[in-house]
């Protein structure tokens, strides 16, 4: 068996791994990238980009359907084959292609393909044909769709977020398992493209909001459009002539048996570290079986191992993977010295309709006694009235003592843009009064945000 000795081994060549490589390559030639599976990053291949192309098509169809309100009557026909041809072509040329071209510029001596597993704290086995001894290791191996045990026997026939964009046409019907970002975005898109779609939850929660009023508003709003069964569990899944027959037991004891042409498993993703024999790594593992790490250094305990990106299972977002890969690299270069990186305030966006966004600290992470909350409904905004898009609401959370904005939960048209304004304010430590000094043009969607901030300021002064 061949053995290679390097200073740095980077497991995974996605957003985090490539970011780490670009940093470390400036310091040394003694490094190796190890990639299992196709190159191209999760975002470009199966995540952000193809899902948004699907959503763009479904939004167009939905806009045409709603045109009569504005005096615009139109007819359209969904061509599923052309829809997926477009997604696959543009994904390959515009998104995955860019990543592949960059990977091709990396000298082959820095790359090896195969499944890496720990043999000991410094040694990795790659497919039983290569042994890599590394002084420092960066774990950036990404994640894979989680599949519940009831569906495991059918895994080769079911769809996940890793396979759904390989379809060649739209199915007649689809069950979507999950009520998180992947399930809601893709489920709503298929529904709007004419697919009979049902979304199944487990705990009764929907999306990422943590304030009870936000959760309630999202569930009520989304159920007006979508067939959502929020609470229960699947007890049986079998393949039948025209698809799949699913049995679902609700928490109140009702058994639901339905058949679908396709089933999309979208109930989250799990770290690929689970296949790397972590018990041999010498790392301290948490109750999930994943390495404990410092988010400011991405260092696992006091070890020579660092982690980044979706492999942590904590912040499966492109921009977080980008940041973490670079923090991990800088920390590894500095090791054994301690070097902290700069984290940014949290921001997460669902491209559903209405959009959802969480910024900074969510409500559940705060002490209700130490904050004031400002709230506004989207139907109060002049621009929302112009669009006849009155669904949703937003909340902002402000420190009671300093008046500094801490976080927000936003549900409605324009959430992605309001979120970026608010996260910038949080990054600069602005008070709600200082944010309100910013001009807000009339009429814009941001006037609802101004209303929520104004309520928070009023309550702050009153307290």
What the block records as the tokens of 364 is: 């559940």
pLDDT at 74: 87
Residue 269: φ, ψ to 5°: -125, 150
Assess whether 263 and 275 both reside in one domain.
no
Last residue of a domain, one of 281, 299, 334: 334
pLDDT at 193: 98
Does 52 belong to an annotated binding site?
Answer: yes
- The pTM assigned to this predicted structure is 0.96
User: Does the annotation count 191 as an active-site position?
Assistant: no
The answer to the question of residue 99 being in a domain is yes
The answer to the question of residue 342 being in a domain is no
252-294 pLDDT per residue, tens? 999 999 999 999 999 999 999 999 999 999 999 999 999 999 9
- The catalytically annotated residue of 319, 338, 428, 442 is 442
The answer to the question of residue 374 being in a domain is yes
Cα–Cα dist 420/445, whole Å: 13
CATH number of the domain encompassing residue 440: 3.30.390.30
Does 199 belong to an annotated binding site?
Answer: no
Does 310 belong to an annotated binding site?
Answer: yes
CATH number of the domain encompassing residue 115: 3.50.50.60
Assess whether 245 and 197 both reside in one domain.
yes
Assess whether 50 and 98 both reside in one domain.
yes
Assess whether 190 and 298 both reside in one domain.
no
Assess whether 137 and 7 both reside in one domain.
yes
The answer to the question of residue 384 being in a domain is yes
Does 125 belong to an annotated binding site?
Answer: no
How many residues in total does the chain contain? 463
Does 183 belong to an annotated binding site?
Answer: yes
Assess whether 112 and 201 both reside in one domain.
no
For 67, 68, 384, the CA distances from 71, given in Å and listed in that order, are 6, 5, 18
The answer to the question of residue 101 being in a domain is yes
Assess whether 20 and 138 both reside in one domain.
yes
The answer to the question of residue 377 being in a domain is yes
The answer to the question of residue 340 being in a domain is no
The count of structural domains within the chain is 3
pLDDT at 419: 98
Last residue of a domain, one of 237, 267, 297: 267
Say if CB 189 and CB 58 are below 8 A apart. yes
Last residue of a domain, one of 252, 267, 282: 267
Assess whether 259 and 286 both reside in one domain.
no
Assess whether 310 and 324 both reside in one domain.
yes
Cα–Cα dist 104/274, whole Å: 28
Residue 5: φ, ψ to 5°: -110, 125
Assess whether 297 and 356 both reside in one domain.
no
Sheet-wide strand order for 196-200? 159-160, 262-265, 173-177, 196-200, 227-229
Domain span at residue 37 reads 2-144+270-334
Assess whether 139 and 164 both reside in one domain.
no
pLDDT at 463: 85
Per-residue pLDDT of the chain (463 residues; tens, 9 = 90+): 899 999 999 999 999 999 999 999 999 999 999 999 999 999 999 999 999 999 999 999 999 999 999 999 989 999 999 999 999 999 999 999 999 999 999 999 999 999 999 999 999 999 999 999 999 999 999 999 999 999 999 999 999 999 999 999 999 999 999 999 999 999 999 999 999 999 999 999 999 999 999 999 999 999 999 999 999 999 999 999 999 999 999 999 999 999 999 999 999 999 999 999 999 999 999 999 999 999 999 999 999 999 999 999 998 899 999 999 999 999 999 999 999 999 999 999 999 999 999 999 999 999 999 999 999 999 999 999 999 999 999 999 999 999 999 999 999 999 999 999 999 999 999 999 999 999 999 999 999 999 999 999 999 999 8
pLDDT at 417: 98
The answer to the question of residue 176 being in a domain is yes
Say if CB 408 and CB 420 are below 8 A apart. no
Does 176 belong to an annotated binding site?
Answer: no
Does 227 belong to an annotated binding site?
Answer: no
Does 184 belong to an annotated binding site?
Answer: yes
Does 55 belong to an annotated binding site?
Answer: no
Does 40 belong to an annotated binding site?
Answer: no
Q: Which DSSP category does 214 fall into?
A: H
378-433 pLDDT per residue, tens? 999 999 999 999 999 999 999 999 999 999 999 999 999 999 999 999 999 999 99
Strand ranges, E, within 312-427: 347-350, 356-360, 371-377, 393-399, 405-411
Assess whether 109 and 55 both reside in one domain.
yes
């Amino acid at each position: 068996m061949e053995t290679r000795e390097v200073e740095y081994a980077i497991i995974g060549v996605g957003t985090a791994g490539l970011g780490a490589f670009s940093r470390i390559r400036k310091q040394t030639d003694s490094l190796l990238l190890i990639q299992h599976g196709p190159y191209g990053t999760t975002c470009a291949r199966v995540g952000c980009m193809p899902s948004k192309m699907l959503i763009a098509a479904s939004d167009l169809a939905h806009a045409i359907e709603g045109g009569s309100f504005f005096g615009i009557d139109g007819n359209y026909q969904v061509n599923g084959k052309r829809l997926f041809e477009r997604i696959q072509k543009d994904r390959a040329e515009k998104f995955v292609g860019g990543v592949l071209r960059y990977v091709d510029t990396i000298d082959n001596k820095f790359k090896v393909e195969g499944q890496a597993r720990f043999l000991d704290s410094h040694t990795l086995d790659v497919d039983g044909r290569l042994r890599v001894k590394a002084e420092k290791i960066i774990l950036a191996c990404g994640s894979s769709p989680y599949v519940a045990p009831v569906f495991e026997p059918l895994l080769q026939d079911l769809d996940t977020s890793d396979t759904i964009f390989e379809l060649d046409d739209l199915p007649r019907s689809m069950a979507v398992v999950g009520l998180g970002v992947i399930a809601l975005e893709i489920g709503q898109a298929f529904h709007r493209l004419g697919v009979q779609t049902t979304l199944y939850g487990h705990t009764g929660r929907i999306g990422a909001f943590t304030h009870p009023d936000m959760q309630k508003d999202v569930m009520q709003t989304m159920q007006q459009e979508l067939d959502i069964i929020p609470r229960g569990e699947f007890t049986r899944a079998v393949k039948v002539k025209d698809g799949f027959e699913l049995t679902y037991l609700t928490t109140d004891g009702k058994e639901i048996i339905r058949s679908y042409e396709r089933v999309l498993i979208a109930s989250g993703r799990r770290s690929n570290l689970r296949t790397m024999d972590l018990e041999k790594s010498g790392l301290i593992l948490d109750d999930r079986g994943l390495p404990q790490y410092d988010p400011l250094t991405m260092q696992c305990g006091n070890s020579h191992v660092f982690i980044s990106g979706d492999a942590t299972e904590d912040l499966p977002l492109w921009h977080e993977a980008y940041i973490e890969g670079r923090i991990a690299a800088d920390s590894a270069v500095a090791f054994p010295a301690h070097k902290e990186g700069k984290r940014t305030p949290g921001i997460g966006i669902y491209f559903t309709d209405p959009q959802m966004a969480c910024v900074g600290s969510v409500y559940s992470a705060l002490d209700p006694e130490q904050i004031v909350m400002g709230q506004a409904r989207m139907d109060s905004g002049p621009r929302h009235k112009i669009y006849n898009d009155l669904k949703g609401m937003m909340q902002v959370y402000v420190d009671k003592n300093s008046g500094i904005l801490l976080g927000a939960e936003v549900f409605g048209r324009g959430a992605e843009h309001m979120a970026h304004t608010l996260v910038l304010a949080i990054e600069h430590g602005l008070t709600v009064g200082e944010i309100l000094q910013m001009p807000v043009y009339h009429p814009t969607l941001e006037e609802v945000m101004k209303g929520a901030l104004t309520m928070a300021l009023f309550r702050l002064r009153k307290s």
